[in-house]
């Protein structure tokens, strides 16, 4: 079975300190150990970015980001992922940001 293009993460395409939207999704699919749809990944990533942008200059904690995303997924989107899966995807986004020196 051939892998889909969006699942192939290529760290050589990274520019330190500059997150890439599509590379983030590729990173998620490269490292995730359960099934989610591409749409679910994008919803979680967009909610993450929204909170990240709102919090410019403030210290953010992984748990706060995950809780924000979980709350928004439940109140505004029909996302049937468990809290644990949403937290796992949020953790992967943070891992990606750490890998390019954007989250400490």
User: Could you report the per-residue pLDDT of 16-29, keeping only the tens digit for each?
Assistant: 778 889 999 999 99
pLDDT at 60 over 60: yes
Report yes or no on 44 lying in a domain: yes
Q: How confident is the model at residue 14 (pLDDT cuts 50, 70, 90)?
A: confident
Full domain range(s) for residue 91:
5-99
Angle at 41 between CA 67 and CA 39, to 5 degrees: 125
Report yes or no on 33 lying in a domain: yes
Report yes or no on 68 lying in a domain: yes
Report yes or no on 78 lying in a domain: yes
Report yes or no on 9 lying in a domain: yes
Report yes or no on 104 lying in a domain: no
Instruction: Name the domain count of the chain.
Output: 1
Name the nearest CA neighbour of 15 among 103, 101, 104: 101
Q: What share of the chain is helix, strand, coil (3-state, %, to 5)?
A: 65, 0, 35
pLDDT at 101 over 60: yes
Q: How confident is the model at residue 6 (pLDDT cuts 50, 70, 90)?
A: low
- For residue 3, what pLDDT is reported? 46
Average the pLDDT over 47-58 and give the result. Answer: 89
Average the pLDDT over 1-12 and give the result. Answer: 59
């Amino acid at each position: 079975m051939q892998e889909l293009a969006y699942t192939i993460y290529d760290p050589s395409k990274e520019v330190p300190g500059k997150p890439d939207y599509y590379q983030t999704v590729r990173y998620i699919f490269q490292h995730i150990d359960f099934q989610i749809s591409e749409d679910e990944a994008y919803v979680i990533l967009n909610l993450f970015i929204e909170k990240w942008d709102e919090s410019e200059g403030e210290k953010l904690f992984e748990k706060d980001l995950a809780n924000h995303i979980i709350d928004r997924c439940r109140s505004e989107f029909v996302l049937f992922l468990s809290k644990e899966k949403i937290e796992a995807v949020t953790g992967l986004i943070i891992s990606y940001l750490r890998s390019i020196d954007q989250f400490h």
